[in-house]
Chain A
Amino acid sequence: GQNIDQPTEMTATEGAIVQINCTYQTSGFNGLFWYQQHAGEAPTFLSYNVLDGLEEKGRFSSFLSRSKGYSYLLLKELQMKDSASYLCAAFNDYKLSFGAGTTVTVRA
């Protein structure tokens, strides 16, 4: 089975940095993914990690520690448009299972 935990909400100021943590327990593991979902819209792929370490993609970075079952998504230089839900997801056995999502609110 899958168990994916992430905080429900986070608030940060425009221009700041926010780190969204995710812990997971899965019966198998083929990668940890992060998706962004604006209210009422479809999720869109942001970043992923298969091996331990940090992956950087512009203002977004994602980190993975497989031994600890832990990942984080780092959002830098926050912009108002980054206000959204961020979904942590574990991929295994052809399934992508999502956490409940972290709603990030960016304030001016």
Chain B
Amino acid sequence: DTGVSQNPRHKITKRGQNVTFRCDPISEHNRLYWYRQTLGQGPEFLTYFQNEAQLEKSRLLSDRFSAERPKGSFSTLEIQRTEQGDSAMYLCASSSRTAIYGELFFGEGSRLTVL
């Protein structure tokens, strides 16, 4: 078990470009979450998947953001037409349906810098 893996770890892009982040959860975990964290703040919920179904999206997730989990394994988070306000750490977490109390396991995050 290698834990939750996120790639790339750091992405620097110019405003207006599209970026995609990937998350590989712990293999037996069916629940996957994306969070966004800005400097000095706690993580804010973006979206939640149970298997391949996206069950909840935050209002923070504007139309420029899209997330997928096509086969219920890895997930991608795409940001189109990036803006400087999108600069943040994007965190992925997973949890197991068999862990009754839903302990979350986080990856190392993907830091986005929009110039």
Is chain B found bound to chain A in the same assembly? no
Which B residues form the contact surface with A (CB < 8 A)?
A: none
